[in-house]
Structure 1
Amino acid sequence: MSYKEIYEKTNQLYEERLVLVEDRIAQIADQPAVKEPFAQYFKDIAACILRLKNFKKDSGFNKEFYSGFLKENYGKNYADPEYAVKMLGKDYGQILSAVYAKTADCVKTVFQGDIKYLCIYSELIVELYNYFEDSDDVNAAEIKACVYSFMHDYEEIFSEDSIGKMLDPAYDYYARLVEDADVSKDDYLYEYGLYVGNNELMSRKYLASLTDEQIRSMADTYTEGYRIGFITSNKDITKKSVVQIHYPLGFERMVKAAIENFKKMGLSPVMMPCSTSVNKQYDYDHKEDMALWMDKAYVEYRNECLHNALEKNKDIACKCGGPAVIEIFGEEPFAPESKSENASYSDEQQKLSVYMTSRRSQLINQYIKGEERSFTIIAYPVSDIGDSYEEIFAETVKINTLDYILYRDMQQKIIDVLDTADRVHIVGTNGNKTDLYVKIHELENPDKETAFENCVADVNIPVGEVFTSPVLEKTEGKLHVSQVYLNELNFLNLEIDFKDGMIEKYTCTNFDDEEENKKYISDNILYHHKSLPMGEFAIGTNTTAYRMARVYDIAAKMPILIAEKTGPHFAVGDTCYTYDEDNMTYNPDGKAIVARDNSVSILRKEDISKAYFNCHTDITIPYDELGAITVIRHDGSTCDIIRDGRFVLPGTEELNKPLDELDAQNNK
């Protein structure tokens, strides 16, 4: 069965329903029979529906449809909650802006040949319109109740579709699109329905200029990382038949080659494309829209629908090998505008959101078991990175293929010393206020056990790092970074204080108001948890990537995937072994990696809801802000791993060469 057959089964019903409302939608778009200020809102959203109904897979439609969401036009679009509240009042503006955003999002499904979302959102708009047409004084509570009923009633469909598209290769619209794409032209990019901007166009153009050998090398690095990830974690890839390919528009030439490789491994692709955001402020403004209809009953029903959808797809879920991700980087760091008009979770809803996320994670792990799946992730720049885009791309390819044996051996020398530690002391310099002690897991049998994983280039490309799950108790002090780009958001002077491995307090300087700074961190690093543990301590060794970032002045634009390899980093949230703690893995030297749990994650044996936070955010201190990393042994003796931004252990001198080259270049 293909996506066409899947949608043909349901489209007939929805086509009949859409016919019943499309005349009404056309009438609303032409001459709404409700009073201002609401008439213009309904006129605009009805026009949006008609554009979707008559979409074309070409650049003209893409530019016209997305133009209203661009930064320069967004402030006069009802998708902007600030504008909607200004025009309609807060009681109506917030909820109607959220509906506008949801309706516009139907562009993704209509391009795939699925009209059900266009149909049901059209019906919702007509239903809302009728309230205003039938009364001169519409109760805002009725509007919210209508939207609540809609979201609740269709949750079963939402869940089934999202899980199906996440797991089942039968949803092959994107796979066919990639296979049939003429990558020498831009035309195919407009068949996605996703925003196509300069990044997508330039990525397609640049990859088209590469040789077949270069494309094959990029694809091989990516797919081999996935395959080797199963080997290094002692998992059987032959039990799997599905791989989830996350990729950016413009990279189809590489993805085509990757699909061939995956098929040789017996894996069929589930395609998950993405494009750069048309407007990150728009995304930020709507990230908590669910607050407008979330309550306990809705959350419980949503979890129930998710469980039913997973159960329905259980035969394919158990064959899912996990994601293979191609990330992009280079966009300008985004510092969002905080708007009082945006929907935001109440304290009670924050608790519900945490519970919902936790329950979702547990359910997915129940059907796609963590101890049986793996992943890989690799990153490339996009043209927004600047005039040196092609040079940076070529440098990134080199970084992604560094000699892993060289790094493996140098990292082992670092691990040998770290394994003697009681604690590790990390101190900042050049204005960095970090002063942090990390407690290291005790080894019962040092000849056969290690606390640190020797990470080269498999699941996390490129090389390299050594990492551990710290002992929370006696892990304490301050972590500070002058600027860091996390989860696509820019943080200035981020400070996090730890006590017994848990976040005790935090701040940054993004906003003038201290409460706004704390909320920014709470929303986007803590994800509404009161606190998070330090789930990982690592030392990144990729000084070549660091040099590239400084030479091209792109440090603020580097993705976490690469940035975490350019200095010590500390992850807040879950450990790197979440849902996989009992599957023992080994370093290349044969030692078992035993630091897999902490005092929070071990609670999974009693109550799984208390063990995981479903987030893991790496925060890196760059070498030029690093004073020292010092091992402190039980007997009080010490040994430096890094001093004044340089590796000082014998046998690791090679890591300093890119740093010395950078200094020489800067001193010219």
Structure 2
Amino acid sequence: MVEERYYLTLERIMKITEENTVKEPYQSYFRHVAEFLLRIHDIKDSRHTSARASMTKERLEEEMQMLYYDVLPQNYETSYANPEYAVRELGEELGAFLSALYTELRGDIGYVYEERYDYIVIGNELFIEIYNKFEEEETPSPESLKEIFYWYASDYCDVYAADRVVEQIDPEAYDFAVKRIMESDLTDLRYLYRFGEYVSENELKTAEYLNSLPQETIDKMADTYTEGFRVGFINTGKDLSKKSVVNIRYVLGFERVVRKAIQNFEKMGLKPTIYRAASSVITRPRLGKNGFYGGIPNKQYDYDHKDDLGLVLDKQFMERKLEVMRTVLEKNKELAGSFAGPAVMEVFGEKPFAPVTKPEAVTFSKKQEELLLIMNSRAGQITNQYIKGEERSFTIISWPLPEIGNNYPEIFDEVIRINTLDANVYEKVQQTLIDALDQGEYVRIFGKGANKTDLKVSLCRLKNPEKETIFENCVADVNIPVGEVFTSPMLEGTEGVLYVSKVYLNELQYRDLEIHFKEGKTTEYTCSNFESEEENKKYICDNIMHNHESLPLGEFAIGTNTTAYMAAKKYDIADKLPILIAEKMGPHFAVGDTCYSWAEDNVVYNPNGKEIIAKENSVSACRKENPEQAYFQCHTDITIPYEELGKISVFTCEGKEIVLIENGRFTLPGTEILNEPLDK
């Protein structure tokens, strides 16, 4: 039936490229999109031919460039995928919608490589229905077109949204990526083009460099990653033996490491799921990518379409999507219960991205922003019902990309060293810091020079200091590399100003970021990215606050990895480091949920045997009665680099001051070893 529907739509799309039944400028748009869909058919047609199997790397590169031509930066200014151009050419009322439609159909690139022809048929039928509307009326109303798109998204929730849930928890349901990783000849770089992702110089050179490394180095990288996942279960008192599935998320080019990681996980009794980062408005997250993906051809393109869900989001759609999610998890509750969590490999080193906000792009209304918060919160609750937070874990590790600079091999080797530092050394030093912090009533943090930070962080009170502790001693398990002590601060009594001159959060740059706190919650914020204060506040509201009116301070931590800090200075890459490493390079503060969200009731111990008691705050404490108010589904770390740090002191109930760091150097006796990389 799918095949029959496919060829019926194909026949109609071929005619669209030749006929003139729609008035200009719309006919040109439809011809262009139809030609793209025919290129997708060309790939489908050649998937099983021997000629395709023998295609040269140059031919595969040419094919990929044709598929991504429209969104590459050099062509984007005159692309219908660009809402600014689409509005200019197609009009204010219809341009943004038609740009979003084209973006939705561009998901076919991944679908055709996965041979998900039902997805392609669904998109073709949507395209034809919209085209028919333009044939019936010279200029259809935006409302009538949005209605068609709405019912497409609603009707096919039980395909796209349902498949996304199953792909995460069932290794047998979707093995496209696993097969390519395990069965491909990884020395023949043509394999990269067979994933259906954009392959940039980063992916090619990464795979090439990894191929030059001895197997023992690959093993070391993979072992650090998988062992962190295993130890995460041990350190949090969770039973890994009850689990059978792990979700691997990574970027193309690292297949040699992932192949070894799959083998390691299988020895733990875990089968991998590896799904593609979502491309449909029904399933893709607002920011970032979740799954496996290749090079990002144009980050501005992704940013322009981050709110395309605004075309369909209302209460009815929200309830529909949540019901699909709940139904699928209930049907697969045994699989969901065996899901151990995600193991994530991040990358860094790309040129920092500062987005341009385009008024032509689809945006959420205020009501939709509120609905999105509710939907994400309820989705989190449903997930936690079947994949319990107190039973799952995760791990994250980061590796540099060739784009980081000419010293890429040296930087890569340095990152391997950073990711595999001796946890035993750090455990002892960090315990010294924790022993001092455990005496405190609050901590004061001051910036230095132009840094305006002046923040008082209130600490949880210990009832039994012999057996309890406030801070977790993070020694490179779930959160690699080693190098921080962290806590969930008390909100009451926490106040002041957090300031950073320049920071990158989720690949977005912020200049002169300033956030004010009162009773542990954000009250106001600004930055200097844009000329108008309104744009600055909107930028932070969208991307740090995630459209919440206020967020609590979910985490206070002190990073101790001065080795990483000095590597960043040596190679001048501080602006390119991921938060995963950057957060270990100074004190950091997270707005949003605590580090223990959905798992506050788990009993967790530090390596010295003391129980960590600071796992919640007065907001998350209401989780049992009102989980929608307890969790925010976000956690954004903001780090003050050592050079902007004036002083961090602990103040005891008796008023005694214990200085931990002064002028960017550790001053507490027993922590001097952390200054050695700074001296070098």
TM-score normalised by the chain length of structure 2: 0.94
Paired residue type of 1:429: K
Counterparts of 1:137 and 1:224, CA distance in 2: 59
Deviation at 1:332, TM superposition (A): 1.2
Partner of residue 81 from structure 2, selected from 79, 82, 105: 79
Identity over the aligned pairs, expressed in percent? 52
Paired residue type of 2:413: A
Partner of residue 194 from structure 1, selected from 189, 197, 210: 197
Paired residue type of 2:422: D
Counterparts of 1:311 and 1:503, CA distance in 2: 37
Number of residue pairs matched by the alignment: 649
Partner of residue 231 from structure 2, selected from 228, 237, 241: 228
**Is 1:511 the equivalent of 2:530?**
yes
Q: Residues 430 and 624 of structure 1 are in contact (CA less than 8 Å); yes or no, is this contact kept in structure 2?
A: no
**1:519-541, Cα deviation, whole Å (9 max, x unpaired):** 00000001010000000000000
> SS where residue 602 of structure 2 aligns?
coil
Paired residue type of 1:19: Y
**Is 1:21 the equivalent of 2:21?**
no
> SS where residue 462 of structure 2 aligns?
coil
Counterparts of 1:427 and 1:185, CA distance in 2: 53
Counterparts of 1:53 and 1:310, CA distance in 2: 34
**1:332-366, Cα deviation, whole Å (9 max, x unpaired):** 11110010001111110110010011111111111
Name the counterpart of 1:53.
Answer: 41
Name the counterpart of 1:258.
Answer: 261
Q: Residues 67 and 109 of structure 2 are in contact (CA less than 8 Å); yes or no, is this contact kept in structure 1?
A: no
Counterparts of 2:312 and 2:24, CA distance in 1: 25
**1:609-634, Cα deviation, whole Å (9 max, x unpaired):** 11000000000000000000000111
**Is 1:247 the equivalent of 2:245?**
no
**Is 1:314 the equivalent of 2:338?**
no
**Is 1:353 the equivalent of 2:369?**
no
Name the counterpart of 1:8.
Answer: none
> SS where residue 458 of structure 1 aligns?
coil
Q: How does 1:512-527 map to 2 (within 5 A)?
A: 512-527=531-546
> SS where residue 94 of structure 2 aligns?
helix
**Is 1:207 the equivalent of 2:210?**
yes
**Is 1:580 the equivalent of 2:580?**
no
Partner of residue 613 from structure 1, selected from 632, 635, 654: 632
Name the counterpart of 1:180.
Answer: 183
**Is 1:105 the equivalent of 2:107?**
yes
Counterparts of 1:59 and 1:172, CA distance in 2: 24
Q: Which portions of structure 1, spanning 4 or more consecutive aligned residues, are displaced by more than 4 angstroms? A: none
**1:157-190, Cα deviation, whole Å (9 max, x unpaired):** 1111111111111111110000012111211101
Paired residue type of 2:558: I
Counterparts of 1:526 and 1:275, CA distance in 2: 28
Deviation at 1:29, TM superposition (A): 2.1
Name the counterpart of 2:418.
Answer: 399
Deviates more, 1:46-55 or 1:437-446: 46-55
**Is 1:36 the equivalent of 2:24?**
yes
Q: How does 1:306-345 map to 2 (within 5 A)?
A: 306-345=325-364
**Is 1:62 the equivalent of 2:42?**
no
Name the counterpart of 2:283.
Answer: none
Counterparts of 1:138 and 1:536, CA distance in 2: 51
Counterparts of 2:120 and 2:465, CA distance in 1: 61
**1:254-280, Cα deviation, whole Å (9 max, x unpaired):** 111111100000000001422231110
Name the counterpart of 1:4.
Answer: none
- Structure 1, gaps ≥5 residues long: 1-12, 662-668
Q: Residues 425 and 631 of structure 1 are in contact (CA less than 8 Å); yes or no, is this contact kept in structure 2?
A: yes
Counterparts of 2:139 and 2:401, CA distance in 1: 50
Name the counterpart of 1:6.
Answer: none
**Is 1:447 the equivalent of 2:498?**
no
Partner of residue 564 from structure 1, selected from 571, 579, 583: 583
Deviation at 1:33, TM superposition (A): 2.2
Q: What is the RMSD computed on CA atoms of the aligned residues?
A: 0.9
Counterparts of 1:597 and 1:586, CA distance in 2: 15
Q: Residues 159 and 309 of structure 1 are in contact (CA less than 8 Å); yes or no, is this contact kept in structure 2?
A: no
Counterparts of 1:209 and 1:14, CA distance in 2: 44
> SS where residue 668 of structure 2 aligns?
coil
**Is 1:627 the equivalent of 2:646?**
yes
Counterparts of 2:36 and 2:550, CA distance in 1: 42
Partner of residue 140 from structure 2, selected from 132, 138, 141: 138
Q: Residues 175 and 273 of structure 2 are in contact (CA less than 8 Å); yes or no, is this contact kept in structure 1?
A: yes
Q: Residues 2 and 121 of structure 2 are in contact (CA less than 8 Å); yes or no, is this contact kept in structure 1?
A: yes
Q: How does 1:117-156 map to 2 (within 5 A)?
A: 117-156=119-158
Counterparts of 2:93 and 2:146, CA distance in 1: 9
Q: Residues 554 and 590 of structure 2 are in contact (CA less than 8 Å); yes or no, is this contact kept in structure 1?
A: yes
Name the counterpart of 1:552.
Answer: 571
Partner of residue 491 from structure 2, selected from 466, 472, 492: 472
> SS where residue 80 of structure 2 aligns?
coil
Q: Residues 233 and 240 of structure 2 are in contact (CA less than 8 Å); yes or no, is this contact kept in structure 1?
A: yes
Deviates more, 1:465-474 or 1:357-366: 357-366
Counterparts of 2:434 and 2:82, CA distance in 1: 51
Paired residue type of 2:97: I
Q: Residues 242 and 268 of structure 1 are in contact (CA less than 8 Å); yes or no, is this contact kept in structure 2?
A: yes
Deviation at 1:32, TM superposition (A): 4.2
Counterparts of 1:152 and 1:407, CA distance in 2: 51
> SS where residue 605 of structure 1 aligns?
coil
> SS where residue 90 of structure 1 aligns?
coil
Deviation at 1:578, TM superposition (A): 0.5
- Structure 2, gaps ≥5 residues long: 47-51, 53-59, 276-291
Deviation at 1:605, TM superposition (A): 2.1
Counterparts of 2:139 and 2:219, CA distance in 1: 64
Q: Residues 32 and 43 of structure 1 are in contact (CA less than 8 Å); yes or no, is this contact kept in structure 2?
A: no
**Is 1:285 the equivalent of 2:291?**
no
Paired residue type of 1:581: E
Counterparts of 1:559 and 1:136, CA distance in 2: 50
Deviation at 1:111, TM superposition (A): 0.7
**Is 1:363 the equivalent of 2:366?**
no
